[in-house]
Structure 1
Amino acid sequence: MSCKHWLAALMSMFGLSACATQTPLPLASHVDIERFMGRWYVIAHIPTWIEKQSYNAVESYALKPDGSIATTFTFNEGGIHGPMKVYHPTGFVIEGSGNALWGMQFVWPIKAQYKISHVADDYSNTIVTRDKLDYVWIMARTPSISEQDYQQLRGLVESYGYDMSKLRRVPQMERPRETP
């Protein structure tokens, strides 16, 4: 990763690390961590500044032997065929949270809040939030979901108190692609 990208990640994490205490958002009662691992397509988000013009955004998780989560976040910048950006933060499950609350670390020692507020019973979709209501991610196991499912997930995000005018649908290629 270039110096420019490290600096961008560091600046973003400083903004992400300040977890305000407003009304805490819901937390999924339990997340089967092994089932949660794998590829998640970002369907919609209120993005961090790094991902404001992301296309084909995919977040992939792999459980490491030490219990941390190797994460690969990829997207094309600026268009479906724009340059590929790749980030490798590490997730850390917070004990006693039913595996639904993580710290996500792009740059040591800063860990941003990563809160799994919803996960479908069949693990087909999820909503990741932050108590600050600054960023949110609606993700699914497939690059697209039905409009009915999207509206249901969008309704949950709205019920959490997010400013829905900031929610952006992330354009995805219809065919799955390999994540580096």
Structure 2
Amino acid sequence: MKSLTARLGQVALALFPLAACSTQPTVPRVPQVDVARYMGDWYVIASIPSRFEKGAVNAIESYRLQPDGVVRTDFRYRKESATGELKTMHAKGYPHADTNNAVWGMQFIWPIKAQYVISWLDPGYRFVIVARDKRDYVWVMARTPTVTDAEYASLVGRVAAMGYNVNDLKKVPQQWPESRP
């Protein structure tokens, strides 16, 4: 009679090929990110949103490089409308030098760092697509609150090429100027 440990080992070996086949390849990564140039405001044009971002309007992600190399990140949006409740989230970004700053650890709660991959970046730093290998979230951002229909279609095409289901992609309303309550 085989021991339980031996049987579990056999089961694990039998399932290992299935696990290997079910993993998705990594999302693309840009060859290099000039972190100083990346800093500033990015308007969220579309996303596959996290539960916190659902119903976001006027979403802006702001990045500020700190002297220690950590990126201070502030995400601000209104809930449901341009006059809705203002929400903010703060995080710290940790660019990985060994990826030429294309992959970051984004920390909202210590000690957890979520994957943040700069998958595509316009050479002029006007548009960016931030993705994750899990393909659970994606953010399409621009330096301006609106993009042309052609630019949007091109960005959505890039997201699709990364293996995302673009039917899950939601446009984020940008209604500026905001009315101040």
Specify the TM-score bucket, using the shorter chain as the normaliser: 0.7 to 0.9
Q: Between Structure 1 and Structure 2, how many residues are aligned?
A: 158
What is the Cα deviation at residue 163 of structure 1? Answer: 1.1
State the TM-score, normalized to the length of structure 1.
0.85
Q: In 2 relative to 1, CA 21–69 (structure 1 residues): closer, same or farther, beyond 3 Å?
A: farther
Q: In 2 relative to 1, CA 55–155 (structure 1 residues): closer, same or farther, beyond 3 Å?
A: same
Q: Which amino acid aligns with 1:105?
A: Q
Q: Which amino acid aligns with 1:157?
A: V
| Distance across 2 between alignment mates of 1:43 and 1:33 | 21
Q: Establish whether residue 23 from structure 1 lines up as the match of residue 25 from structure 2.
A: yes
SS of alignment partner, residue 123 of structure 1 = coil
Q: Establish whether residue 68 from structure 1 lines up as the match of residue 70 from structure 2.
A: yes
Q: Establish whether residue 55 from structure 1 lines up as the match of residue 57 from structure 2.
A: yes
Q: Which residue of 1 aligns with 2:137?
A: 135
What is the Cα deviation at residue 34 of structure 1? Answer: 0.5
Structure ID, larger Rg: 2
Runs of 4+ in 1 over 6 A off after TM superposition: none
- Deviation per CA, 1:106-125, whole angstroms, max 9, x where unpaired? 00000000000011010000
SS of alignment partner, residue 96 of structure 1 = helix
Q: Which residue of 1 aligns with 2:15?
A: none
What is the Cα deviation at residue 78 of structure 1? Answer: 1.6
**Unaligned segments of structure 2, at least 5 residues:** 1-21
C-alpha root-mean-square deviation of aligned residues, in Å? 1.5
What is the Cα deviation at residue 95 of structure 1? Answer: 2.3
Q: Which residue of 1 aligns with 2:123?
A: 121
What is the Cα deviation at residue 102 of structure 1? Answer: 0.2
Q: In 2 relative to 1, CA 176–91 (structure 1 residues): closer, same or farther, beyond 3 Å?
A: farther
SS of alignment partner, residue 150 of structure 1 = helix
Q: Which residue of 2 aligns with 1:80?
A: 82
Q: Establish whether residue 149 from structure 1 lines up as the match of residue 161 from structure 2.
A: no
Percent identity of equivalent pairs: 46
SS of alignment partner, residue 30 of structure 1 = coil
Q: Which amino acid aligns with 2:118?
A: I
| Distance across 2 between alignment mates of 1:124 and 1:139 | 8
| Distance across 2 between alignment mates of 1:139 and 1:90 | 18
State the TM-score, normalized to the length of structure 2.
0.84
Q: In 2 relative to 1, CA 21–68 (structure 1 residues): closer, same or farther, beyond 3 Å?
A: farther
More deviation, 111-120/166-175: 166-175
The answer to whether the 8 Å contact 2:83/2:178 transfers is no
What is the Cα deviation at residue 176 of structure 1? Answer: 8.0
**Unaligned segments of structure 1, at least 5 residues:** 1-19
For residue 162 of structure 1, the aligned residue among 157, 161, 164 is 164
What is the Cα deviation at residue 142 of structure 1? Answer: 0.2
| Distance across 2 between alignment mates of 1:168 and 1:81 | 20
| Distance across 2 between alignment mates of 1:55 and 1:83 | 10
